[in-house]
Amino acid sequence: MGSEIQRIHQLLVEKKISCTDLVQGKLDELTKSTSNTSNFLLTDYALNLAKKVDQNIANGKEIGILEGIPFGIKDVYLLQGSPASGSSDFLRNYISPYTATAIQKLLDAGAIPIVKENCDSFGHGSSNENSVFGAVKNAVNEKLVAGGSSGGSAVNVAKGYTVFSIGGDTGGSVRQPAGYNKVYGLKPTYGRISRYGIMAYASSTDVVGPIARTMEDILMVLNVMSGKDYHDQTTINSDNISLSDCQDKEAAQKLKVGYYKSFINNKAIEPGIKTDFMALIEKIKGQGIEVVELDFLDSETLVSTYYTLAMAETASNLARLDGTNYGNRITGTNLKDTYAITRSENFTVETKRRIVGGNQVLSQGHSEEIYLKARQIRDIITEQFESEFEEVDIILSPVSPNNVPEIGNSLKDPMTMYLSDAYTVGFSLGGLPTLSVPVGPSTGLQVTAAKNQELKILQFSNLITA
């Protein structure tokens, strides 16, 4: 399957469809959908932009490849003048005062945002049930969860309601819902895309990630959004990646692949996921690619390290939400009471669990034993990745060890939900680029490379899906 963006671009240029009809069609589908993917439709905003694209085409102007392409935005990004709720009661009526850099770059390229998408509140979750707008339904089987936290974005792409969507990934939130809904989802190298204008969850692992139906579309959107931004001091310069390099099969054939025994031999992995993953490994070996087994920390260590740090960072980041500067204020009998009621009433149970946990691991008497220890383990994880990538180019794993859960189960059992992130969180702690590819195990295949080696990931994915 070639680029969907390219296909629609061609239809627009050849005047086989108008941009207004295209955008209106997608908005109608979103309105009729029962998947619960939309928090807010950007109807007037999008139709206005579509009209301008139609005028440009009518005037014989050349249009850019992304011009007029409808896309979705996870509801944690700011788009000036539009709602940005983080799927929370706190910010239900919040209007963005400025636009996130990543989104601005897409607007500058002419892409049209049509919807702010349902997600887990502040990115807290792995099932997209932790949302004040309700659970998102899986695109393949409505009884199952969409995955989280960027569930609305993944389902919109899978259903074709958006051509691509912009999710956010802190510990797996782009890769896991992409895997659950059989589309592509990329977590780029930390710092490749600016985080300016995305609600901070855990700032040291938060990244902006595109979700799309083809590798080509992921590439196009990645190139547009990447680059240094003086608003985000962790951003790095990166070169554009060319499509022809991604399609270079000879180069892909030479990539050396590894997978972690500790992931695959873990008792928590579903037998079917293990069988399908190993069958894929055999197929890859059959294509003449060298595959080796690697040893790594057990996934429980990765999950506990990630959750210790993510909770600590979210407790700090969400301290600013007290109803004074942002969000819905509930007045109590005095100021302290006002803070307490505002925060207890406006955060979800899952978000409060993380704030309480985060403050606990940061508190005096505990921080050295828990928070600082997690920081040390993170350094060990990062060093180990560096040495792994001296030996191999690509690391493969299933996206998640468990089968896609049914709606209702994860909320009852948060620990099982946290463990479903076992294979994604480690790569977040390492700041590595990693892509969910809809092949192999039912939760998808995760293809990871060393920092700034997105090209290898795309080359390899192209080889195994061609």
Residues tagged active-site: 74, 149, 173
Question: Mask: binding to ligand GLN, 82-101, rule CB under 6 A, as x and -?
Answer: --------------------
Q: Which of 162, 173, 351, 446 binds ligand GLN (CB under 6 A)?
A: 173
Answer yes or no: are the C-beta atoms of 61 and 17 closer than 8 Å.
Answer: no
Residue with Cβ nearer ligand GLN (175 or 456) = 175
Of 59, 54, 60, nearest to 12 by C-alpha is 54
Task: Single out the segment in contact with ligand GLN by CB under 6 A; choices: 117-125, 243-251, 368-376, 393-401.
Answer: 117-125
292 to 53, 254, 284, 455, 459: CA distances (angstroms) = 50, 14, 12, 21, 19
For ligand GLN, which residue has the nearest CB? Answer: 173
- How many residues make contact with ligand GLN (CB under 6 A)? 14
N residues, the chain: 466
Q: How far is the CB of 411 from ligand GLN (least distance, A)?
A: 13
Number of C-alpha atoms within 13 angstroms, CB side, residue 450? Answer: 14
Helices 19-32, 4-13: axis angle to 10 degrees equals: 130
- The residues with which 72 forms a beta bridge, in sequence order, are 115, 165
Considering only residues 305 to 334 of the shown chain, the ones binding ligand GLN according to CB under 6 A are: 310
93 exposure class (CB count in 10 Å sphere: 0-12, 13-18, 19+):
exposed
DSSP collapsed to 3 states, 352-412: HHHHHHHHHHHCCCCCCCCHHHHHHHHHHHHHHHHHHHHHCCEEEEECCCCCCCECCHHHH
Minimum distance of ligand GLN from residue 22's CB (angstroms): 30
Of 5 and 200, the one with the shorter C-beta distance to ligand GLN is: 200
| Contact status: 170 vs ligand GLN (CB under 6 A) | yes
Can residue 67 be called a binding residue for ligand GLN (CB under 6 A)? no
Of 60-68, 105-113, 123-131, 154-162: span binding ligand GLN (CB under 6 A): 123-131
Concatenating the DSSP letter of every residue in 215-278 gives HHHHHHHHHHHBS-BTTBTT----PPPPHHHHT-HHHHHT--EEEEHHHHT-TTS-HHHHHHHH
- Residues in region 182-241 near ligand GLN by CB under 6 A: 201
- CA atoms of 254 and 48, how far apart (whole Å): 48
> Pick from 378, 390, 374: which is nearest to 451 by CA?
390
461 near ligand GLN, rule: CB under 6 A = no
Closer to ligand GLN by CB, 280 or 419: give it: 419
Neighbours of 356 (CB within 10 A): 11
Nearer to ligand GLN, 70 or 210 (CB): 210
149 lies in the site for ligand GLN, by CB under 6 A: yes
Residue 1-40 contact track with ligand GLN, rule CB under 6 A, x = bound: ----------------------------------------
Q: Which amino acid is at 28?
A: D
- Which tokens sit at 179? 């895997």
Question: Interacting stretch for ligand GLN, rule CB under 6 A, among 79-87, 119-127, 370-378, 406-414?
Answer: 119-127
Instruction: Please name the amino acid found at residue 135.
Output: A
Between CA 433 and CA 47 the distance in angstroms is 35
- Is residue 61 within 8 Å of residue 105, measured between CB atoms? no
> Which single residue is written with the structure tokens 């989104």?
103
**Stretch in the footprint of ligand GLN (CB under 6 A) among 64-72, 168-176, 269-277, 452-460:** 168-176
Question: Which residue among 70, 110, 151, 171 contacts ligand GLN (CB under 6 A)?
Answer: 171
- Residue 421 interacting with ligand GLN (CB under 6 A): yes
- Cα(263)–Cα(397) distance, rounded to whole angstroms? 8
Would you say 201 or 389 has its CB closer to ligand GLN? 201
Phi and psi (nearest 5°) for 461? -60, -40
Nearer to ligand GLN, 201 or 296 (CB): 201
- The answer to whether residue 74 forms part of the interface with ligand GLN (CB under 6 A) is no
Q: Which is nearer to ligand GLN, 246 or 411 (CB)?
A: 411
CB of 358 to ligand GLN, least distance (A): 11
Residue 148 Cβ vs ligand GLN, minimum distance, rounded to whole Å: 6
126, 194, 238, 402: residue in contact with ligand GLN (rule CB under 6 A) = 126
**Least Å distance between CB 297 and ligand GLN?**
18
Contacting residue, 125, 209, 438, 440, with ligand GLN by CB under 6 A: 125
What does the alpha-carbon distance between residue 141 and residue 271 come to, in Å, rounded to a whole number?
A: 21
Note whether 401 binds ligand GLN by CB under 6 A.
no
Q: Which residues bind ligand GLN (CB under 6 A)?
A: 123-126, 148-149, 169-173, 201, 310, 421
